[in-house]
Structure 1
Amino acid sequence: MKRSFLIGLGAVALLASGSFATEVPAIANLLPKTAIAQNIQAKRQVQLNLAAAKKIVQQTSDGKQQVSWQNLQGNVTVQPGDVIRYTVTGANNGDRPANNLIVTQPIPQQTAYVLNSSKTINITAIVTYSIDNGKTFVAKPTVKVKLTDGKVETRPAPAEAYTHVRWKFTSAIAAKSKVAAAYQVRVK
Structure 2
Amino acid sequence: MKRVSLAVLGAFALIATVPFVGQIPGSAIAQNIKTQAQIQLRLEAEKQVVAQDPQGKQSQKWEPLKGQVLVRPGDVLRYTLSGENKSDRPVKNLTFNQPIPKGMVYVLKSANVTNNGKITYSIDGGRSFGENPTVKVTLADGKVETKPAPAIAYTHIRLQVPSVSAKTTVKATYQTQVR
TM-score, normalising length: structure 2 = 0.90
The correspondence for 2:143, drawn from 119, 127, 151, is 151
- 2:67 is the counterpart of 1:67: no
Q: CA deviation at 1:27?
A: 10
Output one character per residue of 1:67-125: Cα deviation in whole Å (capped at 9) or x when no partner: 1000001231200000000110000011100111112111000000000000124x221
Mark the CA change 1:84 to 1:179 in structure 2 (over 3 Å): closer, same or farther: same
Contact 2:21 2:30 in 1 (8 A): no
* Other-structure match for 1:173: 164
What secondary structure, in the 3-state scheme, does the structure 1 residue paired with 2:102 have? coil
Amino acid of the residue matched to residue 166 of structure 1? R
Contact 1:119 1:182 in 2 (8 A): yes
The 8 Å contact of residues 103 and 168 in structure 1, kept in 2 or not, is answered as yes
User: How far off its partner does 1:43 sit?
Assistant: 1.3
Q: Aligned residue for 2:13?
A: 12
Cα shift at 1:41: 3.5
Distance 1:89 1:35, change over 3 A: same
Residues 14 and 166 from structure 1, CA distance in 2 versus in 1: closer, same or farther, beyond 3 angstroms? same
Over 3 Å counting, the alpha-carbon distance change for 1:162 and 1:26 in structure 2 is farther
Say whether 1:45 aligns with 2:45: no
C-alpha separation in 2, matches of 1:145 and 1:177: 44
Other-structure match for 2:18: 24
Q: What is aligned with 2:50?
A: 57
* Alpha-carbon distance in structure 1 between the residues aligned to 2:168 and 2:135: 39
Q: Does 1:79 align with 2:72?
A: yes
* Matched-pair contact (CA < 8 Å) for 2:113–2:119: no
Deviation of 1:4 (Å): 2.2
Q: Distance in 1 between matches of 2:88 and 2:131?
A: 33
- Hey, what's the Cα distance between the residues in 1 that align with 2:46 and 2:21? 19
Alignment match, 1:19: none
**Which AA in structure 2 matches 1:155?**
K
Matched, 1:187 2:178: yes
Give the TM-score normalised by structure 1.
0.86
Counterpart secondary structure, 1:12: coil
Counterpart amino acid of 1:126?
K
Query: Which secondary structure does the structure 2 equivalent of 1:46 belong to?
Result: strand
Q: 1:49 to 1:128 in 2, by over 3 A?
A: same
Identity %: 47
Moved over 4 A (4+): 25-29
Structure 1 match to 2:124: 132
Code of the aligned partner of 1:75? Q
